[in-house]
Amino acid sequence: MATRKTNPLQVPREPAHSTAHLDLSKAQRVALPNLKLSTETISLRMPAALLDTIKIEANKRDVPYQSLIKMTLAEQFQKYPAGSVRCPLANEIPPGARHSPSAGG
């Protein structure tokens, strides 16, 4: 039976950088309009009046209301990360709209 000769793996002496092989002067900007971030579907209960207000505001800004909700949440979490000063919007929630742990929701 013949034995096969294998070449040992050669480890490069210097780290390989892909930029050495690219001519960035010829690079072109590419738009990917159909690329979407991964999302998850959720169910969110809120007072009808609040939802109506959100939809009206979204219409004024010419954005879908769900996008307005996501943008607003993202902005608020960026402004008030966990452990920082309490979010001032929390004081604007009507008492009947607050989540009650005993309500099972």
- Residue 82 is predicted with a pLDDT of 82
* Cα angle, residue 87 at apex, residues 84 and 88 outer, rounded to 5°: 135
Domains of the chain and any CATH numbers = 44-82 (1.10.1220)
Please list the rounded mean pLDDT of every run of 10 residues in the chain (105 residues): 64 66 80 82 94 96 95 90 70 56 47
Decide: helix, strand or coil at residue 51: helix
- Residue 10 is predicted with a pLDDT of 66
